[in-house]
Amino acid sequence: MAKRSTLADQHHLKLTSSPGNPVPSAYGASPLNVRTKLRERRPASVRRHTARIATRLGVLLLGDIAAVIVCQAAASFAASNGVFGSSIATQFSKALGAGYGAGFNFGAAVIASLAITGNYSRHRQLNGRLRLLAASALASVLVLWAMITGGEVFGAFAVYIATASLTWMVLLGERIFSERFLSRVWPGARGAAPAILITDRKESSLHFERAVIAEGGDYSLAGYVPLNRVTFDGVLGTIRDLPEIIDAYHVEAVVVCQHLNDQQIMNVREASLAAGCQLLYPARAVKIAGVRPALVWHQDQPFFELGAPVLKASAVITKRVVDIIGAAVGLVVLSPVFAMIALAIKLDSPGPVFFAQDRAGLGGRRFRMLKFRTMRVGADAEKHSLSHLNRSGDSRLFKIPEDPRVTRLGALLRRWSLDELPQCWNVLRGDMSLVGPRPFFEADFASYQDHHFRRLDAKPGITGLWQVSGRSAVVDFEDVVYLDRQYIEQWSPWLDVSIMFRTLPAVVRRTGAY
């Protein structure tokens, strides 16, 4: 299979110096060259970040399951041997009878309690022992409730304290082992993300630096980017060189260790998110349009993770799972409709059933988007000669009412949006999502302004805010970009659900469908 590419393949940003001394340039001076080059590496950065989160969660889950098994084995041993005294043996015998030994029930209670008390949150070391104690106490309520409802009120609380204490001690030991395993064995240093620190290394910011690059942490130090023109070991350039530095050093995290003004924050954010980098900022008052800060901890130091919600690992995982299920079900359920449409196309006009076209996807990566063919063969070659009929007057929104190239059946398929159904295959492959911005053409990038590239921060979708807001009736490209950015910056699972439910009425109304 041929390697996917973007326009950056033809427009590489050339660095004439060594990787240790990238050529300075004005921030955002060439959105076509600089930003597109950053965006083509964004999907890989997001995947690696998601893999780190999934690896950590998987190791912790396996460790917690093992801890539950150890708890139940220890309780059985204490109950049967009496080595800790007859009183303890009696308590654990009652606990086992109340469900402490029922692996699935108590195991599910422990995992749920750990999640509720924040023990799976990233970088949360603050009050870790207390949060594990809270989880143990919450899970052991299952035993307490079983004893009380079974009529054994007397001594129920003594049994509860014994089971909660044993669970806490085992979980505490297991978590210490799991954290050391993650930091020193697998993935260890191999899983650390290359990070640059934006700092002048003043005394007031050094504690943030130490928290981020601590041994066994999530990040490895790629170098420093000072705000002012100061020099010290590890300086890679100035803040104005940030896009080039990110590209040259394969940076996956940008950590701000001191105060930035509003414009500096905006510039750092645009460059970081364009490349799919995590962006961490010391937890203090900060307000930027389009940002929903998430509080994370590194070595008990609080940071805000700045970024669009749709770019976060949890969103990537959630959307991908929903996309796979939705696309697979759609392809199976709609297969009879596919067959009927395919037969109708073959009978209506000569040519193939499907029409494939190169579009720009996540990060500007090129992919082949599928549709049912609705135009006569060779329609693409006629586009230039019909440009005067373009309703919007903008080549980036090429829509012609009663387009002469559209076949009789094609007009019907377009009116009811049935021509888009084959894109379920694109969703299953991972090129598209069920909900997201509509994919546009790479050729349009030459006329994009800086803020237009933000619409490439999410996978394109079969439906989206533009589709449910009038589709072709929206004739201003800035309005389309605004809707796409609103989706990216305000994303939530409920927003996707809302758009999906609004799609069917929009199709039935057929507003702007031609």
- Rg over alpha carbons for the chain, rounded to the nearest Å, is 28
Distance CA 129, CA 115 (A): 14
- pLDDT at 352 (0 to 100): 94
Q: Residue 470 above 60 pLDDT? A: yes
Instruction: Check the CA dihedral 467-323-114-131 and report its sign.
Output: negative
Q: Cβ(135)–Cβ(142) under 8 Å?
A: no
Which region holds residue 258: left if phi is over 0, alpha if psi is between -120 and 50, else beta?
beta
Q: Residue 63 above 80 pLDDT? A: yes
Q: What's the residue count for the chain?
A: 514
- pLDDT at 224 (0 to 100): 94
More confident: 491 or 355: 355
DSSP per residue over 318-360, as a string?
HHHHHHHHHHHHHHHHTHHHHHHHHHHHHHHSSS-SEEEEEEE
More confident: 117 or 101: 117
Q: Residue 47 above 50 pLDDT? A: yes
Which helix (DSSP H) or strand (DSSP E) does residue 282 occupy? Answer: strand 278-282
Q: Residue 27 above 60 pLDDT? A: no
Q: Cβ(202)–Cβ(229) under 8 Å?
A: no
- pLDDT at 25 (0 to 100): 41
Taking residues 297-310, report their average pLDDT. Answer: 66
DSSP per residue over 199-251, as a string?
----GGGHHHHHHHS-TTSSEEEEEEE-SSS---TTB---GGGHHHHHHHTT-
- pLDDT at 474 (0 to 100): 66
- pLDDT at 349 (0 to 100): 92
Q: Cβ(159)–Cβ(143) under 8 Å?
A: yes
Taking residues 246-266, report their average pLDDT. Answer: 88
- 224 backbone dihedrals φ, ψ, rounded to 5°: -115, 150
Of 185-189, 204-208, 283-287, which gets the smallest average pLDDT?
283-287
- pLDDT at 492 (0 to 100): 82
Distance CA 346, CA 344 (A): 5
Over the stretch 350-399, which tens digit does the pLDDT of each residue have? Answer: 999 999 999 998 888 889 999 999 999 988 888 888 888 887 777 788 87
Q: Cβ(197)–Cβ(237) under 8 Å?
A: no
* Mean pLDDT score across all residues of the chain: 82
Distance CA 75, CA 63 (A): 18
- pLDDT at 426 (0 to 100): 96
Distance CA 406, CA 114 (A): 58
**Quick one: which of 33, 35, 459, 26 has its CA closest to 272?**
35
Q: Residue 294 above 80 pLDDT? A: no
- pLDDT at 287 (0 to 100): 55
Taking residues 430-434, report their average pLDDT. Answer: 94
Q: Cβ(420)–Cβ(460) under 8 Å?
A: no
More confident: 389 or 345: 345
Q: Residue 432 above 90 pLDDT? A: yes
More confident: 341 or 211: 341
pLDDT classification of 87: cutoffs 50, 70, 90: confident
Q: Residue 337 above 90 pLDDT? A: yes
More confident: 333 or 453: 333
- Out of 10-24, 34-48, 355-369, the most confident range is 355-369
Taking residues 227-249, report their average pLDDT. Answer: 88
User: Long-range pairs for 131-137 at CB < 8 Å and ≥24 separation?
Assistant: 132/168, 132/171, 132/172, 132/175, 133/164, 133/168, 135/110, 135/171, 136/110, 136/164, 136/165, 136/167, 136/168, 136/171, 137/164, 137/168
Share of the chain above pLDDT 70, in %: 83
Q: Residue 413 above 70 pLDDT? A: yes
pLDDT classification of 298: cutoffs 50, 70, 90: low
Taking residues 53-76, report their average pLDDT. Answer: 92
- pLDDT at 458 (0 to 100): 87
Q: Residue 253 above 80 pLDDT? A: yes
Q: What is the dihedral of CA 215, 216, 222, 223, to 10 degrees?
A: -30
Over the stretch 142-172, which tens digit does the pLDDT of each residue have? Answer: 888 888 887 777 778 888 999 999 999 999 9
Of 150-154, 241-245, 480-484, which gets the smallest average pLDDT?
150-154
- Out of 27-41, 56-70, 250-264, 479-493, the most confident range is 56-70
Taking residues 294-310, report their average pLDDT. Answer: 66
Taking residues 339-360, report their average pLDDT. Answer: 94
Share of the chain above pLDDT 90, in %: 31
- pLDDT at 113 (0 to 100): 93
Domain ranges of the chain: 50-184, 192-307, 314-509
Superfamily (CATH) of domain 192-307: NAD(P)-binding Rossmann-like Domain (3.40.50.720)
Distance CA 428, CA 467 (A): 21
- pLDDT at 291 (0 to 100): 59
- pLDDT at 420 (0 to 100): 93
C-alpha dist (Å) from residue 110 to 73, 123, 132, 139, 160: 16, 20, 10, 5, 14
- pLDDT at 175 (0 to 100): 93
Taking residues 38-47, report their average pLDDT. Answer: 80
DSSP per residue over 434-445, as a string?
EESPPPB-GGGG
Over the stretch 268-278, which tens digit does the pLDDT of each residue have? Answer: 988 888 888 88
- pLDDT at 172 (0 to 100): 94
| Cis before 22? omega within 30 | no
Amino acid identity at 193: A
Half-sphere exposure of 269 (CA within 13 A, CB side): 25
Other beta carbons less than 10 A from residue 118's beta carbon: 14
Q: Alpha helices, DSSP H only, in 447-492?
A: 465-468, 477-489
Q: Residue 6 above 50 pLDDT? A: no
